[in-house]
Amino acid sequence: MRKILSIIFISFITGSVSAQEFDHEKLDNYFETLAANNKLMGSITMANEGEIIYQKAFGFAEVDQQIPLSTDSRFRVGSISKMFTSALILKAIEEEKIKLDQKIDAFYPEIENSEIISISQLMNHRSGVHSFTSDPDYLTWHTAPKSRKSLYSIIIHGGSDFEPDSKADYSNSNYVLLTWILEDIYGFQISRMKTFKHPKRDS
């Protein structure tokens, strides 16, 4: 069984340092010291005005096998992506593409209670929408690719766990639905899985 130590993925966006002023050697020494003392394992990327000015990886992707990390290594980010989803939802609200109190039936009429569930309630885990990751069989398929249509069917089948806004209960389904709202209103796919399409338009 492989064992993977906790990996830190750090992405810096610098606003005041240009590529010409950047001291690569000093930063190398800093990160290498951290790595040598088991204080850092990850991939570092720094960019200024869209230009990458520093990029380096430290530590291992597979510790037992001594497989080193590279700048192309991919990381499982998990629920940290919810922060980005929330920020994008608020950006869409700022651009008047959606409203915080808007009900989700315009997007997901098949979801139970969609006519009274708001975007705000999805964001705050107060929708009552059942979390598909809580299903007993989730671990039997969680690493297998799922089309948007297939996952949407699973969320619909999960139904509602409580009356919307009556309490808060963490649900990954909420943020999957929010992601799809963003994909639909901006006309692009946030997910890297090209099979994810709107259920209504799926052939």
Quick: pLDDT tens for 81-107.
899 999 999 999 999 999 999 999 999
Distance separating alpha carbons of residues 185 and 203, to the nearest angstrom: 20
Mean pLDDT of 115-127: 98
User: What is the tally of structural domains in the chain?
Assistant: 2
Residue 3 lies in a domain: no
Looking at 68, 87, 108, which one is the last position of a domain?
68
Do 99 and 197 share a domain, yes or no? yes
The answer to the question of residue 152 being in a domain is yes
Which pLDDT score is estimated for 201? 36
The answer to whether the beta carbons of residues 118 and 101 sit under 8 Å apart is yes
Query: Residue 131 — very low, low, confident or very high, per pLDDT cuts 50/70/90?
Result: very high
* Same domain membership, residue 87 and residue 41: no
Are residues 46 and 95 both part of a single domain?
no
91 and 124 co-located in one domain: yes
Same domain, 84 and 141: yes
Domain boundary among 17, 33, 68: 68
| CA–CA distance, 145 with 147 (Å, rounded to integer) | 7
**154-197 per-position pLDDT tens digit:** 999 999 999 999 999 999 999 999 999 999 999 875 544 333 33
Contact present, 174 and 164 (Cβ < 8 Å): no
CA 93 – CA 195 distance, rounded (Å) = 27
51 with 90, same domain: the answer is: no
**If phi over 0 gives left and psi between -120 and 50 gives alpha, with beta otherwise, what is residue 111?**
beta
Are residues 56 and 138 both part of a single domain?
A: no
Signed CA dihedral, 41, 176, 124, 133: sign only: negative
- 89 with 120, same domain: the answer is yes
In a domain, 73, yes or no: no
Q: Where are the alpha helices (DSSP H) in the chain?
A: 24-36, 81-94, 119-123, 138-141, 148-158, 172-186
Output the CA angle 182-184-186, nearest 5 degrees.
65
Indicate the range of 4-13, 19-28, 167-176 predicted with least confidence: 4-13
Q: Which one, of 76, 79, 75, 106, lies nearest residue 174 by Cα?
A: 79
Residues 34 and 84 in one domain: no
* Structural domain harbouring 58: 8-68
For 46, phi and psi rounded to 5 degrees?
A: -125, 135
- What are 143's two structure tokens? 């690493």
Structure tokens at 24: 């690569």
Verdict on whether the full-model pTM lies above 0.75: no
Give, as one character, the DSSP assignment of residue 61: E
DSSP 20-54: TT--HHHHHHHHHHHHHTTS--EEEEEEETTEEEE
**90 and 64, same structural domain?**
no
**Contact (Cβ atoms closer than 8 angstroms) between residue 148 and residue 200:** no
Tell me how far apart the alpha carbons of residues 115 and 128 are, in angstroms, rounded to a whole number: 13
